[in-house]
Amino acid sequence: MRLAELYAHPGDLQAQFWRTDFPILKTRVHGKPLVYLDNAATTQKPQAVIEAESRYYGNYNANVHRGIHRLSQLATDAYEMTRVKVQQLINADSPNEIIFVRGTTEAINLVAQSYGRGRLRPDDEIILSQMEHHSNIVPWQMVCQQTGARLRIIPVDDNGELQMDAFAQLLNARTRLVAVTHVSNALGTVNPVKAIIVLAHAHRVPVLLDGAQAIAHLAVDVEQLDCEFYAFSAHKLYGPTGVGVLYGKAELLDAMPPYQGGGDMISSVSFDKTTYNTLPYKFEAGTPNIAGVIGLGAAIDYVSAIGLDVLAEHEQGLLAHATAELAAVPGLRIIGRAREKIGVISFVLEGMHPHDIGTILDREGVAIRTGHHCAMPLMERFGVPATARASFALYNTRQEVRALVEAVRKAKEVFG
């Protein structure tokens, strides 16, 4: 990296320091330095997260909420400490409103089954949007099949923004829930979720936000948003896979039946009657992913030390730079030009299928995602079977954007 260039972009200078926290970024792929631009799929992990998991297994591995012995106490403390960190990260009222699950997908399934299944009646309506990830579509389709409820879909305009007029018209006396994504995984669009919530609440309709793509890129404040449910995954927030969070307002969670039965979620069990545990344990049956939750705690410490506003500013700089550079490539079309975006750029190249782009970029060390991004209805909306998607995280730099653009030009060369 040229020094002058570094100083011209202070964000890159910071990013160069942050990069040293991520051991995997020293990896070479096909003999080239790894340029990891698949962060919307999963982010890389800082040393602090890797060590937190390893320390748990090496020094105080024990089950939580059970043992009277020392190690169990240490493990329980670390596990519960993460709950408080999550509460603070998203500004929830109480740690009891933070439920640990396997990921965003499980969080949404939990709400669909525990909140939706018992309440929904035939012809009730659930509003989703056209830009949802399959994980915020299929759980609702399943509960519709079980109850006779129906899905209504907020359309997306040509820029990749939700059509809010259409949303306002979809709300009616039969609407029971709105479940929309905070940020689109395929387009990067940041949705006007506050406006969505205000409109829904005017009809006394609760709102679930899929925060999988938002949590690592912008400050989330559930109190200010006033959403009923918020779901996200640790692994998109520099944390481990297999851990996620469901936030729910206490009064709703209290009124919901357990999602799964087992140990830890009960107060007492007899063959005649079982009394369920209180929040949050009512929804955490079985031994949880203790190491993963502890790793999530370390990830939250890591991003909090940098500051979500600081890393968001860096990523916004990268997004603007990369958008301009890619748009200048002849034959390249960016899908998703919303006014407010996070660092996600979906694109197609004339005469080239995204899989072919992906293979050629990989040989240049550039890791991107190609395909339908688990958002097939959205691909259909834009009339493409697939796109290539570059997505940024705090450790990406303008130098890497250049590597991306050069690799795209090489792909064009191969296809002549």
CA angle (311, 312, 316) in 5-degree steps: 120
For residue 387, the minimal CB distance to other proteins (Å) is 11
| Choices 31-39, 45-53, 69-77, 359-367; region in contact with other proteins by CB under 8 A | 359-367
Half-sphere exposure of 355 (CA within 13 A, CB side): 3
Q: Does 402 bind other proteins (CB under 8 A)?
A: no
Tokens 């990921």 identify what position? 103
Closest to 319 (Cα-Cα) out of 189, 409, 209, 192: 189
Please say if 227 is a catalytic residue: no
Instruction: Round to whole Å and give the CA distance between 331 and 271.
Output: 68
Closer by beta carbon to other proteins, 9 or else 363: 363
| Choices 85-93, 144-152, 206-214, 368-376; region in contact with other proteins by CB under 8 A | 368-376
For residue 153, the minimal CB distance to other proteins (Å) is 20
Q: Does 9 bind other proteins (CB under 8 A)?
A: no
Q: Does 188 bind other proteins (CB under 8 A)?
A: no
Q: Which of 108, 209, 360, 404 binds other proteins (CB under 8 A)?
A: 360
For residue 248, the minimal CB distance to other proteins (Å) is 32
Spell out the SS3 assignment of the chain.
Answer: CCHHHHHHCHHHHHHHHHHCCCHHHHCEECCEECEECECCCCCCCCHHHHHHHHHHHHHCCCCCCCCCCHHHHHHHHHHHHHHHHHHHHHCCCCHHHEEEECCHHHHHHHHHHHHHHHHCCCCCEEEEECCCCHHHCHHHHHHHHHHCCEEEEECECCCCCECHHHHHHHCCCCEEEEEEECECCCCCEECCHHHHHHHHHHCCCCEEEECCCCCCCCCCCHHHHCCCEEEEEHHHCCCCCCCEEEEECHHHHHHCCCCCCCCCCEEEECCCCEEECCCCHHHCCCCCCHHHHHHHHHHHHHHHHHCHHHHHHHHHHHHHHHHHHHHCCCCEEEECCCCCECCEEEEEECCECHHHHHHHHHHCCEECEEECCCCHHHHHHCCCCCEEEEECCCCCCHHHHHHHHHHHHHHHHHCC
- x/- track of binding to other proteins for residues 334-353 (CB under 8 A): -----------------xxx
For residue 1, the minimal CB distance to other proteins (Å) is 24
Q: Does 333 bind other proteins (CB under 8 A)?
A: no
Q: Does 386 bind other proteins (CB under 8 A)?
A: yes
Closer by beta carbon to other proteins, 58 or else 383: 383
- x/- track of binding to other proteins for residues 74-103 (CB under 8 A): ------------------------------
Catalytic residue from among 50, 164, 374, 376: 374
Q: Does 356 bind other proteins (CB under 8 A)?
A: yes
Q: Which of 180, 344, 348, 379 binds other proteins (CB under 8 A)?
A: 379
Q: Which of 337, 371, 377, 402 binds other proteins (CB under 8 A)?
A: 371
| Choices 129-137, 138-146, 267-275, 354-362; region in contact with other proteins by CB under 8 A | 354-362
For residue 173, the minimal CB distance to other proteins (Å) is 38
| Choices 9-17, 38-46, 328-336, 371-379; region in contact with other proteins by CB under 8 A | 371-379
Q: Does 363 bind other proteins (CB under 8 A)?
A: yes
Q: Which of 58, 122, 330, 416 binds other proteins (CB under 8 A)?
A: 416
For residue 356, the minimal CB distance to other proteins (Å) is 5
Residues classed as catalytic = 374
Catalog residues that contact other proteins under the rule CB under 8 A. 351-356, 359-360, 363, 370-372, 376, 379, 385-386, 410, 413-416
